[in-house]
Structure 1
Amino acid sequence: MMRNSALFSLLLSFLLFSLSYSNPPHEANQLLKFSGSPKALKIARDNWWKIIKNNNKFPVYVSPQEGLREADKIEKLPGQPEDVKFDQYSGYVTVDPMKGRALFYYFVEAPQDSGSKPLVLWLNGGPGCSSIGAGAMQELGPFRVNSDGKTLYANKASWNNVANVIFLESPAGVGFSYSNTSSDYEITGDKSTADDTYTFLINWLERFPQYKSRDFFIAGESYAGHYIPELASLILKNNAANTNTVIQLKGIVMGNAYVDGDTNEKEIFNYLWTHALIADETYSIIQSNCNFSSSSSRNAECDEAITAARNEIGRIDMYDIYAPLCSGSSNIKSSVQPDPCAGGYVNSYMNLAEVQKALHVNAPYSWTACSDIIEDWHDAPATLLPTIHELIGSGLRVWFYSGDQDSVVPVTSTRTSIDMLKLPVESQWKPWHVDNEVGGYVIGYKGLTLATVRGAGHLVPSYQPERALAMFSSFLKGGF
């Protein structure tokens, strides 16, 4: 069902107005543009499953990989700290030779016992945002960028402490990934992204064959709430067909995940009210007059209430409602609060010629945090909950985690979406701890776990690195 474009245009302008004061990471803007745009085609659950089940793209394209792993090894990133004790790789994997479409990756192995640790694919959302710029350089990667935009410092809570991690720029047109066929950018959507990511994985495992038998997990955030279930579903289907390399998928974990659009837009306002950001009267009018799943005509009372809410909230970062705004080169290196200007430092670093040379980049355009080449998104299911339900039934480990200070994909949205799955509770809500402090809360359902991360915004590992690492380690072990 297409959404009420007038209502969602107003909602979009409301949220972007608030975000414009905070200079937030670009992923929030990209998700809000997507969710509020009438150009974003939302297809029904039955049609989506028809697309997935009728996808007979077997076997996928596999190219010779001899010598490419050695060529992809990074000798040293410009400005990196001394005494780095893990191997790094980056480069391109061709996913369509006829069209010249190639995806760029950055891979970091664990500094200790990399041969026994699992393999993890990290995906940022958007849709259309960089997993290297956010995931690797601002969240869970081994380095972060200093305020000079030229040097790096170590992230002691990097997830490669417990896993070997691939950061993938997906789809083509994002980050350093590209296509030589410009029309590819006009048909990008969920299905093509899942297909290309699967083809990437098959070829990457040929390039790094020592990981073929390794336990494999998919992690990500935001619109990766679409990417991850869709990719996991495709992997399971192809594993069953046994026509390609069998990927040893064991589980998925999604942070502040956008999985059900109608639920998310409604729960944004529940979150704002419960966190004392909008007035009781405004909230009551929104509850009574805004139908977030209806295609009915525009409601003047709803419009006025959303405008009032925008004014009531004022100048804050909607990505983290308690975070300071970017007001210059502060370069905060706290484990509690990241530098609000970090995105600008990353942009400077990724566009240095010496950095791109070290990363083996040959993209035909400058790096940006979110794609300005992909203008429209061709397809997306209205909800991923049926897909997630299928994955739970397959026996995969399925986790959600949620930073509790994010209002863009708030914890209220995640909890409501999980409730819609109607899963029985197996372990009651309880706190989990890091260094004798409450790190968040966890509840176990049959086949699914939800963990909150206390004091974190949308990019959880950026705001709370130690707590995020503890949560992720627990996911890999199967529980707290």
Structure 2
Amino acid sequence: MKNKAPLILFFSTLLLSSSIAQICGKKQTEGLSHLYKEKLKNNTSIDRSHLNATHYFNVAKLHAQERMKVKDGIERLPGQPQVKFKQYGGYVTVNRTAGRAFYYYFVEAEHSEKSLPLLLWLNGGPGCSSLGYGAMQEIGPFRVESDGKTLHKNNFAWNHAANVLFLESPAGIGNPSINNETDVKRTYEYFASHALISDETSDQILKYCDFSPDGTELSDKCSEALHQAKKDVNHIDIYNI
């Protein structure tokens, strides 16, 4: 009987977990159903107006887009099979002053591209690339062959039903354009402000490290400070901060 006790406890826990999951799922379904019903009422307090996105545009941050479509056009990816749809890749400036831009990859629909909807794909999770995962491993038009050099067509790609835009975000994920001189320094300033590294280590990094594009080889003092910072945060998953 003693040997059976752990098994009984295990299966009881498993059964309880399954029941809780079903209950939570049922509550979520009921909540969503209630929301839909409330929206259908004439005297509902829920805002049913359409979102007017243009109302939130900051004209001062809209940059010139002339000839970008021609410039960003991709004739053919390396090792790509012949296809009929058009594809584009380039950068969307999000902060010109800070030197930050998201990378995007856009594929038109296989057919009826002018009438089919636009789908914006953003991969979730820290460090997940919309290009590396979303486009090349999930819903994109191509799959990478085992040789790592050539591509084959994905018969289940979502551009059969929509124009698909893969956006690398936030800045620093995937293939972005960032300003190392400011962004890397701000990272260590953030670590210090949250007591993840010492103020002394942060001060040494800011004083002795040159992260600019024209920066020379890292000095010994810079390397020592970076090594200490890495040692201090090594046991922490910084993506979860």
TM-score, length of structure 2 as denominator length: 0.52
Distance in 1, matches of 2:86 and 2:58, equals 33
Which consecutive unaligned segments of at least 5 residues does structure 2 have? 1-55, 188-236
Query: Are the aligned partners of 1:109 and 1:165 in contact in 2 as well (CA < 8 Å)?
Result: yes
Q: What are the equivalent positions in structure 2 for 1:38-437 lying under 5 Å apart?
A: 58-59=58-59, 61-82=61-82, 84-184=83-183, 186=186, 376-377=238-239
For residues 60-81 of structure 1, what are the alpha-carbon distances to aligned partners after superposition, in whole Å with 9 as ceiling and x for unaligned? 6110000111100001011111
Distance in 1, matches of 2:150 and 2:89, equals 18
2:9 corresponding residue in structure 1: none
The residue type paired with residue 238 of structure 2 is D
Specify the SS of the correspondent of 2:136.
helix
For residues 190-238 of structure 1, what are the alpha-carbon distances to aligned partners after superposition, in whole Å with 9 as ceiling and x for unaligned? xxxxxxxxxxxxxxxxxxxxxxxxxxxxxxxxxxxxxxxxxxxxxxxxx
Specify the SS of the correspondent of 1:135.
helix
Query: Are the aligned partners of 1:99 and 1:181 in contact in 2 as well (CA < 8 Å)?
Result: no
Displacement of 1:111: 1.4
Distance in 1, matches of 2:122 and 2:73, equals 21
Displacement of 1:58: 4.1
Q: Which structure has more RCO (C-alpha within 8 Å, separation ≥ 6)?
A: 1
Distance in 1, matches of 2:150 and 2:181, equals 34
Distance in 2, matches of 1:61 and 1:377, equals 28
Distance in 2, matches of 1:98 and 1:57, equals 18
Displacement of 1:184: 3.6
Distance in 2, matches of 1:112 and 1:94, equals 29
Distance in 2, matches of 1:108 and 1:61, equals 26
Specify the SS of the correspondent of 2:94.
strand
Specify the SS of the correspondent of 2:131.
helix
Identity of aligned residues (%): 56
For residues 327-368 of structure 1, what are the alpha-carbon distances to aligned partners after superposition, in whole Å with 9 as ceiling and x for unaligned? xxxxxxxxxxxxxxxxxxxxxxxxxxxxxxxxxxxxxxxxxx
1:272 corresponding residue in structure 2: none
RMSD: 2.2
Distance in 2, matches of 1:145 and 1:164, equals 21
Which has the higher Rg, Structure 1 or Structure 2?
A: 2
Distance in 1, matches of 2:80 and 2:151, equals 5
Displacement of 1:128: 2.2
The residue type paired with residue 151 of structure 1 is T
Distance in 1, matches of 2:240 and 2:138, equals 29
Specify the SS of the correspondent of 2:74.
coil
For residues 372-409 of structure 1, what are the alpha-carbon distances to aligned partners after superposition, in whole Å with 9 as ceiling and x for unaligned? xxx73587xxxxxxxxxxxxxxxxxxxxxxxxxxxxxx
Specify the SS of the correspondent of 2:132.
helix
Query: Are the aligned partners of 2:103 and 2:168 in contact in 1 as well (CA < 8 Å)?
Result: yes
For residues 87-108 of structure 1, what are the alpha-carbon distances to aligned partners after superposition, in whole Å with 9 as ceiling and x for unaligned? 0000111111111101100000
TM-score, length of structure 1 as denominator length: 0.27
The residue type paired with residue 149 of structure 2 is K
C-alpha spacing 1:184/1:78, structure 2 compared with 1 (3 Å): same
C-alpha spacing 1:95/1:378, structure 2 compared with 1 (3 Å): farther
Specify the SS of the correspondent of 1:63.
coil
Query: Are the aligned partners of 2:145 and 2:152 in contact in 1 as well (CA < 8 Å)?
Result: yes
- Residues matched between the structures, number: 136
Query: Are the aligned partners of 2:142 and 2:154 in contact in 1 as well (CA < 8 Å)?
Result: yes
C-alpha spacing 1:63/1:124, structure 2 compared with 1 (3 Å): same
Displacement of 1:178: 2.7
For residues 262-302 of structure 1, what are the alpha-carbon distances to aligned partners after superposition, in whole Å with 9 as ceiling and x for unaligned? xxxxxxxxxxxxxxxxxxxxxxxxxxxxxxxxxxxxxxxxx
Distance in 2, matches of 1:161 and 1:127, equals 29
1:370 corresponding residue in structure 2: none
1:287 corresponding residue in structure 2: none
C-alpha spacing 1:57/1:181, structure 2 compared with 1 (3 Å): farther
C-alpha spacing 1:168/1:161, structure 2 compared with 1 (3 Å): same
Large movers: runs of 4+ above 2 Å: 56-60, 181-187, 375-379
Displacement of 1:85: 0.8
Distance in 1, matches of 2:69 and 2:240, equals 33
Distance in 1, matches of 2:168 and 2:93, equals 13
Query: Are the aligned partners of 1:101 and 1:181 in contact in 2 as well (CA < 8 Å)?
Result: no
Distance in 2, matches of 1:57 and 1:87, equals 28
Query: Are the aligned partners of 2:98 and 2:182 in contact in 1 as well (CA < 8 Å)?
Result: no
Query: Are the aligned partners of 1:128 and 1:170 in contact in 2 as well (CA < 8 Å)?
Result: no
Distance in 2, matches of 1:108 and 1:57, equals 25
